[in-house]
Chain A
Amino acid sequence: MMAKKKQIDARGSFCPGPLMELIAGMKAADVGDELEVLSTDKGSAADIPEWIKKVGHELLSATEENGVWHITVRKAK
């Protein structure tokens, strides 16, 4: 089965809103799926990769463009 890609738009939401929205998306996703979360919250941009590392998923990229962070993660388990 093809891995799916999904975008979660959490712009305008404050910590820990973007992380929680990502986690809700991860729960619904299948292993191998990619999720990209968009966040305007600077704290979340630092905290989301920490969470990914701690829980053991795969951080694919984290970039900032015009004040919006794009963090992409692959569900590993």
Chain B
Amino acid sequence: MAQEKISIVLISEHREDLQMAGMIASVGAVSGNDVSVLVSMNALKYFLKGASDKAPFAGQMGEILERKKAPSFRTLFEQAAELGEARIHPCSMAMDILGVEWRDLETFMKEPLGLTKFLGDAKGGQVWSF
């Protein structure tokens, strides 16, 4: 029942960006869209098993999100994958640079993806970047 293809490129380490990307991924996926996320650059470290989800704030909203106990962005991505079948992939380049293996990442993370494959899959759909 896929209605739209939504591709999200997530590279930021800021709480607000991670939160918004998680919201779009989870709500998009549970609304019947075909969602895929490529996690790269400074965002990848938050998807390691046992990593802290205390991301630095870009501004005031980040602090308020934390204080008011908005859902953790990692929970949102997990729900996107488990409730909405979103595919969340680590970027293979970022994994090489960071020196991590697939097994080091959260269990909801799908196989590492290169840009050629991600761009091919994203063709013709919505692309969001954070």
Contact = CB atoms under 8 A, between A and B. Distances in A.
Contacts of B30: 19-20, 23, 51, 55
Interface residues of B, number: 15
A16 interface: yes
Interface of B is mostly: helix
Contacts of A17: 70-71
A17 B19 CA distance: 12
A16 B68 contact: no
Contacts of A23: 30, 79, 83-84
A2 to B, nearest CB: 26
B26 A16 contact: yes
Contact of B32 (A12, A24, A54): A54
A24 B30 CA distance: 10
Interface size class of A (residues with CB under 8 A): 10 to 19
A50 to B, nearest CB: 9
Contacts, number: 39
A19 B27 contact: yes
B9 to A, nearest CB: 21
B83 A27 contact: yes
A20 B83 contact: yes
Interface string A34-56: 00000000000001000100110
Given A54-B31, A55-B30, 13 more contacts: A12-B69, A14-B65, A14-B71, A15-B23, A16-B23, A17-B70, A17-B71, A20-B76, A23-B30, A23-B84, A27-B83, A51-B31, A55-B31
